Chain A
Amino acid sequence: MSLIKLEQVTKRFGALTVLDQVSLSVEPGDIVAVIGRSGSGKSTMLRCINGLEPIQAGRIVVGDTVVNDPATDLRKLRQQVGIVFQSYNLFPHLSVARNIMLAPTVVKKMPPVEARRLAEEVLARVGLGEKIDAYPDQLSGGQQQRVAIARSLAMHPKLMLFDEITSALDPELIGEVLKVLESLARQGMTMMLVTHEMGFARNVASRVVFMHQGKVWEEGPGRETLGRPRTPELESFLGSVLH
C-alpha cells in the first residue's frame, strides 16, 4: 500500500491555481526529490500533504488517513509526518534539548527524563550531541537545520517532508545537512524533498518528480529522468540550474 497518495489534487490561492489535478503516490522507503522552478507548486504540495494548506479538490491519503477529510485529527497525522522548513523555525526561546523535547512531552506525554534521553539520541544521529544545551541563536544555519531535523525525528515519523531545507544555507554548510539526509535515506526513512540540489536528486533519490505550472510534468528514477529528460520543459529547467 502506498504511504502517500495524491488523487487529482487541486489547490488554489484565490484565482491562482497552484496545484492542478496532481496525482502522485509514494511507497514506503521511497526517497522522492521534487524539483521545478519557483512557483511551480512543489512546496505547496508538500504543505498540503501534512494539512498545513487546505485543498479545493481531490484527495490526499497518508497511510490510512484522509488528510483533506474535515473529520481527520490533523494532530494525529502530524505525529506521523515530520516536516522540516527552509527557515528551520526552531523555537528561539527554548534550548536545543527543549526544542526537541517539547512535542514528545506535550503531545505524547513522555516523561521529561525519557524525552531528554530521546533528545540525546536524535542529536547524535545528526551529529550535534554536544550542542544539546545551546540555544538556537548560538548555532550556525547548518546546525540549526540539523536540530530541526532531529526535532522532527524525535516524533518517530513514518514519513518526512523536507521543504528546500538547504536553500537558506551558505554553500559551505549545505554539505553537513545533505549528509544527514543521506544517512536517513540509508536507514530506510521514507522522504519527500523539495530541493534544488540536483546532485542529491541524482545520487540519493529513488525517484524524481518534476513539477511545472502546478502539474507533475515528468517523473521517474532519478538518474534516468535527470540524464535524459523527455520534455523540453525539464530539459530547459535542467539547463538553467546546472549552469
Chain B
Amino acid sequence: MIREPNALDVLYLIAAARWTLALTALAFVGGGLSGLLVMLMRVVPARPINWLAIGWIQAIQGTPLLAQLFVFFFGFAIFGYRVSPWVAAGAAFSLYASAFLAEIWRGCVEAVPRTQWEASAALGLGFGQQLRYVIVPQAFRIAIPPTVGFLVQLVKNTSLASVIGFVELTREGQITTGATFRPFTVYGIVAILYFCICFPLSQLSRRLERKLNVAH
C-alpha cells in the first residue's frame, strides 16, 4: 500500500540517523585506537614491524569497504558464528578506519621536521619519549584537518552498512521509499540529514585549527 510521506517518516529518518552517528563513533574510536597502534608500528625503527603495518594498510586500502563488510558478515557465518549486523559493521568499519587513520597520522608524524628528532635525541630522549613529548604534540596540530576530513567520509560511508541489514539513515530511507514510492523526496531528506551531520564537523575542524594556531 502506497502512502504519502509524512512528518512521522521524517522523524523515523532522524531516529535512524542516530545509528549512523553511533556506528561512526564506534568506528572512529575503535579505528582511532587501533590506527594509533598501526601508525606506531609503521614509524618504529624496526623493519619487520614496519612491514607488518604496511601489509595491513595495503590490504585494507586495496580492497573495497563493501567487500570488507561482506567478509565480516558472511565470513563468520562460514565458521559457524552468527554475528549481528552491529558486530560485523562495527568491526569492519573500525578496521577500515584503522588503516586510513594510521596512514594519515604517519604523514603528520613525518611532516614534523627531522631536526626535531635530532634535537631531542641529542638531549638523551629515547624513541618513545621523543614521540610523546616532541613529535606527537606537533603532529597533532597538523593532523586535525585530514582527520576530520576522514571522519566526514566515514559518516557517509556508513551508508554501506545498509547492505548487511544495518538500519541506519540510508537503510531507513530505502524502507521509507518502499512505503511511499517518493524516492526524490525521501533521499533528498536523507541527503540533508547527512549534510546536517557533516557540515558542523567541518566547521568544528576549522575552529580547532584556528585555536591551535593562535594558542600554544
Q: Residues of A with Cβ closer than 8 Å to B?
A: 50, 52, 74-76, 78-79, 82-83, 85, 87, 89-93, 95, 102-103, 106-107, 135, 151-152, 155
Contacts and interface: CB of A to CB of B under 8 A. Distances in A.
Interface of B: 115-116, 118-126, 129, 133-134, 137-138, 141, 216
B129 A89 contact: no
A103 B125 CA distance: 7
Closest 5 CB pairs of A and B: A89-B119, A103-B123, A78-B124, A79-B124, A107-B124
A103 B134 CA distance: 11
Given A75-B124, A93-B137, A107 B129 contact: yes
B123 A107 contact: yes
Contacts, number: 57
A107 B125 CA distance: 6
B215 to A, nearest CB: 10
Given A91-B134, A93-B138, A95-B216, A103 B124 contact: yes
Contacts of A107: 123-125, 129
Given A78-B123, A107-B125, 8 more contacts: A78-B124, A85-B115, A91-B119, A91-B120, A103-B124, A106-B129, A107-B129, A152-B123
B129 A52 contact: no
B122 A75 contact: no
Contacts of A135: 216
Nearest to B123: A103
A241 B119 CA distance: 29
Contacts of B141: 93
Contact of A50 (B116, B120, B122, B216): B122
30 contacts: A52-B118, A75-B125, A78-B121, A78-B122, A78-B123, A78-B124, A83-B122, A85-B115, A85-B118, A85-B119, A87-B115, A89-B115, A89-B118, A90-B119, A91-B134, A91-B138, A92-B138, A93-B138, A93-B141, A93-B216, A95-B216, A102-B120, A102-B125, A103-B123, A103-B124, A106-B129, A106-B133, A107-B123, A155-B123, A155-B124
